Each structure stands twice: as C-alpha cells, then as structure tokens.
Amino acid sequence: MAALTRLLKPSSSSSITFLFRRSLSSTTTAVVSDIESQHNQRPNFSDPKGSRNFQWVFLGCPGVGKGTYASRLSTLLGVPHIATGDLVREELSSSGPLSRQLAEIVNQGKLVSDEIIFNLLSKRLEAGESKGESGFILDGFPRTIRQAEILDEVTEIDLVVNLKLREDVLVEKCLGRRICSQCGKGFNVASINAKEENGRPAMSMAPLLPPSHCSTKLITRADDTEHVVKERLRVYQEKSQPVEDFYREQGKIMEFDLPGGIPESWPKLLEALNLEDYEVKRSAVA
Ligand code: AMP
C-alpha cells in the first residue's frame, strides 16, 4: 500500500507536449532518435513553482470500461481524460484526407500507426495545454511497446491501472455499447448474466440505459460487431499485453478485476486507489 500511496502522489511537473511537439514533425523513427539524442539533456520536468498534476494510464481490453472509469476519475481528480480512440473517431468523422485511410484500419479492428496516434495525441495535448490543462488520464494509449517506450522517454507516468474482465463479458459489453449521436455520451443496452464457469465467478451487470432525450439518437460504433470485437481482442493480446508487462516491470501497475457493473466496481476501484476519502471530501465542498 505504501508503494501505491507513493505512486498516487503527483511528482515533478512536466510539459509532455514540449517533446511531442518537437519530435512529431516527421516519423516515429525520427521521434525515437530525436528523443534518444536528447536523452542526456532531457528537460528538467520539475516545476520550480509547484508540483504537477496526476499522470495516469488506463490499460485493459476493448470493452472493459476504461472510458467509463477513466472519465469518472478525471472528474474526481480534475485532470483531462484523453482517449486516443476518441481522437481517432473525431478524425474519422471529419472529412480530412486521413479519414478514409483510418476508417479502413479501425473497421477491421487493427491498430492505427504509431505516427498517426502520436500526431493526434500531440495535437490534443497542445490544445489542452493552451487552455491551462495539466496532468491526464490516458485511455487506450499506449497500446504498443513502442508507444510505451516513447511515452516513457518524454514524461513520467505515476500509475497504470489495468482493468480486467472475463472475455465472454467483454464481447457482450462491446455488442451492447451505444453512443448518443447528439451529446456523445456512452450507454450499454446489454443485460449481462454470465454464469460461473471454469473457476470464473458468475457476474451480472445491469444495462446502462440512456435518458429519453438520447434514446432515439443512439448509434453503434462500426467496430463493435462480433467479428471486429474478436479481432480487437486478438490484437490486444498480441500488441498491448506486452505493454502491461512493460509497466509491471517498472512496478507501476495496479491490477483491478472488475467485480461487476458500475455500482459494484466504482467504490471498489476508489478503495483500491485509496481515494474513498477524496470523493467524500470533494462532495462535501461541492
Ligand atoms: P478504442 O476506442 O480505444 O477501442 O479505439 C478504437 C480504435 O482506434 C482502435 O481499434 C484502433 O484502431 C484505434 N486506436 C486507438 N488508440 C490507439 C493507439 N494507441 N494505437 C493504435 N491505434 C489506436
């Protein structure tokens, strides 16, 4: 617990866009060599005026609920929730030149190139920085070892939360996922009742239904079909599982087995993060 408490404390300040911005003008290969060449003269991230905000990463298979819990924590901790999947979907919905190329990759359940992801992330961080944002909870990034290594070179991650859920439930959750096309909020129409099986405990999750003003505007993500979800899970095992090991070796990972839906999982997650008091104090001053 002492180690976790230490991780929860924001450490020195940083501006990670500084390095992303400098480095992302060309390809990731250039990014890596640029960063490597600066390795011995990395900017000092400690902010003489004070400490920086939380810099956390959420890992976990597609459909596990990274977005839901990262977004709740972002509100609680006052740091932006940055989901690279959202950045990709924003780019997809624009009529930019990248859009058609991205649609083909995303709709097959494959990963977008590191170069594109770093560019989108860099732009998002830069926009946030100009609005005075600091800290972040990253969701869906890093997803490859290369992304993790580059992130590691440009800034320090305080904590990595690895969310876990049985695979049959993950598939059901992805298939039940809906988004309001107007307000962008996410819902889930799946009513999950997975039986105990091969030592895995039974699990129930109530649907997360939309309010009436959203219910007529629901859309399903094009990559939330059974075939594509299964491919995304396969890609996760192949490319992203090594990222878990990367952070495990650094002693930064907190494993969290979701016990059920939001009502069961949220209080337990806060407890595991030592944040129950934080929520009580915040609601007391709200
Ligand atoms: P998500 O909403 O996180 O499931 O992301 C949707 C899709 O966006 C993924 O299936 C990938 O095609 C792409 N994507 C999101 N984040 C990344 C990333 N860090 N690296 C590569 N591709 C990504």
Q: What is the pLDDT of residues 276-286, one digit of tens each?
A: 887 676 666 66
The SS3 call for residue 158 is: coil
Which atom of ligand 1 has the smallest separation from the CA of 62?
4
Atom 3 in ligand 1: which residue has the minimum CA distance?
85
Does the pTM exceed 0.95?
no
The side-by-side arrangement of strands in the sheet containing 218-219 is 186-188, 177-180, 218-219
Split at pLDDT 50, 70, 90, the class of 17 is low
Contact 54/135 with Cβ under 8 angstroms?
yes
Atom 1 in ligand 1: which residue has the minimum CA distance?
85
43-68 mean pLDDT = 74
26-39 mean pLDDT = 36
Split at pLDDT 50, 70, 90, the class of 200 is confident
Cα gap 82→84, rounded to integer Å: 6
237-245 mean pLDDT = 95
Mean pLDDT of the chain: 84
Is position 166 annotated as part of the catalytic site? Answer: no
